[in-house]
Amino acid sequence: MPERGRSEGEAAESKKPRRGGKRGKKGPFARLALFYRQIIAELRKVVWPTRGQLSTYTTVVIVFVVIVIGLVTVIDLGFNQAVKYVFG
């Protein structure tokens, strides 16, 4: 007797045992090769910056880091003077 809402053919198909696909049967080297192929495929999709954009971004980062270094230095010197005043 077929299940409710299914024809006899569909009921018979749903009772077939599932087979493990090719996914689980690949060895470690095949999976590693697939992983690297996928990495290369994704890297081909990347829009890389132009030389001008790259130099602009690099300059901005270096200037920002120098400013933060200066701020941290000033704060450190201030704390140093405060500690010398209190304990010295």
At 32-62, the pLDDT tens digits run 999 999 999 999 999 999 999 999 999 999 9
Report if residue 56 sits inside a domain.
Answer: yes
Report if residue 13 sits inside a domain.
Answer: no
pLDDT per residue as tens digits for the range 14-32: 566 666 555 557 899 999 9
Look at residue 63 and give its three-state secondary structure: helix
One-letter amino acid identity for 12? A
Report if residue 15 sits inside a domain.
Answer: no
Residue for token pair 């920002």: 64
Report if residue 17 sits inside a domain.
Answer: no
Structural domains counted in the chain: 1
pLDDT number for residue 82 = 97
- Distance between CA atoms of residues 83 and 88, nearest Å: 7
**Which residue segment(s) compose the domain that 35 sits in?**
22-87
Report if residue 75 sits inside a domain.
Answer: yes
Report if residue 42 sits inside a domain.
Answer: yes
